[in-house]
């Protein structure tokens, strides 16, 4: 991954871990500065048996599993499925992050993601960070088209950290992709495509070589 300072943009808590959790683990092992910004804790969508703020606690535990420092975690409270109505506020928050962190590389959802929040996040991130390196991570249940132009090779320890991180989301365990079998199968599939054991795929939105 390009640069030493990486900013992960996660529309909802758990999106970034699902899309590139093993890569996050690898980047931290390599000593890169990794920041994580989640824009919604989806309080309106939490199952009734859990506290409404459960995802705030879960994302802290999950990012901790990956090695992200607590002070590098930014949490916003936008309501789920309303991002397209609050574009300017989101853009303003992204610009503040840009000025505060000065990231070399942004990891974000795909611009063609069919979830309205994911798509809005990607579009506003492109506006805010258009002069830097931008890669989109993969969320296959939302990506009808995904150009696997870049691959990040990861190790077993990174795969394990991704699984452990997502295991912190007990409130999301009912989802079909929230299990070790799926997570490892996706890592293996992308690994097979480049003759490696494990990998995560990314779309290249913008890459700058100095």
Q: Read off the pLDDT of each residue in 26-49 and give the average, rounded to a whole number.
A: 95
**β-bridge mates for residue 107, sequence order:** 8, 135
What does the alpha-carbon distance between residue 205 and residue 130 come to, in Å, rounded to a whole number?
9
If pLDDT is split at 50, 70 and 90, which confidence band does 83 have? very high
- Residues with Cβ within 8 Å of 180's Cβ and at least 6 positions away in sequence, in order, are 163, 167
Question: Rounded to whole angstroms, what are the CA distances from 35 to 8, 82, 143, 157, 181?
Answer: 6, 24, 24, 20, 27
Question: What would you report as the CA-atom Rg of the chain, rounded to the nearest whole angstrom?
Answer: 16
Strands 5-12 and 198-206: unpaired
Mean confidence (pLDDT) of the chain: 96
> Given a cut of 90, is residue 1 above it in pLDDT?
no
Q: Name the band, by pLDDT with cuts 50, 70 and 90, for residue 45.
A: confident
Interatomic CA distance for residues 68 and 184, integer angstroms: 21
Task: Report pLDDT digits (tens) over 122-181.
Answer: 999 999 999 999 999 999 999 999 999 999 999 999 999 999 999 999 999 999 988 999
Q: What is the 3-state secondary structure (H, E, C) of 1-14?
A: CCCCEEEEEEEECC
- What pTM was estimated for this model as a whole? 0.96
Q: Smallest Cα–Cα separation from 63: which of 33, 31, 97, 24?
A: 24
In this predicted structure, what is the pLDDT of residue 210? 83
Spatial distance between the Cα atoms of 28 and 55, rounded to a whole number of angstroms: 23
Whether the pLDDT of residue 59 is over 90: the answer is: yes
- Which structure tokens are listed for 110? 């795909």
Q: pLDDT at residue 197 above 90?
A: yes
| Token pair listed for 126 | 């492109």
Q: In what helix (H) or strand (E) does residue 37 lie, and over which residues does it extend?
A: strand 33-40
Biggest alpha carbon distance in the chain? 51
Confidence (pLDDT) at 112? 96
**Residue 88 three-state SS:** helix
- Across the range 93-105, mean pLDDT stands at 98
Q: Using 50, 70 and 90 to split pLDDT, how confident is the model at 202?
A: very high
Task: Give the C-alpha separation, 114 to 127, whole Å.
Answer: 19
Query: Stretch 80-89: mean pLDDT, rounded?
Result: 97
Q: What are phi and psi of 128, to 5 degrees?
A: -75, -35
Over residues 100-131, the pLDDT tens digits come to 999 999 999 999 999 999 999 999 999 999 99
pLDDT of res. 118: 98
């Amino acid at each position: 991954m390009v640069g030493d300072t990486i900013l992960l943009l996660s529309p909802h808590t758990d999106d970034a871990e699902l899309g590139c959790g093993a890569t996050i683990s690898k980047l931290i092992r390599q000593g890169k500065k990794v920041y994580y910004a989640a824009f919604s804790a989806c309080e309106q969508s939490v199952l009734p048996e859990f506290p409404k703020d459960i995802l705030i606690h879960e994302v802290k535990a999950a990012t901790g599993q990956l090695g992200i420092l607590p002070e590098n975690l930014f949490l916003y409270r936008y309501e789920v499925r309303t991002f397209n109505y609050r574009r300017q506020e989101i853009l303003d928050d992204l610009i503040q992050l840009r000025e505060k962190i000065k990231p070399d590389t942004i990891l974000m959802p795909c611009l063609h993601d069919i979830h309205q929040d994911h798509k809005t996040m990607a579009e506003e991130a492109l506006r805010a960070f258009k002069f830097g390196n931008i890669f989109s991570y993969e969320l296959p249940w939302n990506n009808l088209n995904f150009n696997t132009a870049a691959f990040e090779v990861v190790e077993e320890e990174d795969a394990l950290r991704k699984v452990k991180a997502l295991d912190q989301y007990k409130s999301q365990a009912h989802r079909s992709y929230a299990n070790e079998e799926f997570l490892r199968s996706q890592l293996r599939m992308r690994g097979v495509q480049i003759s490696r054991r494990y990998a995560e795929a990314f779309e290249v939105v913008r890459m700058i070589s100095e």
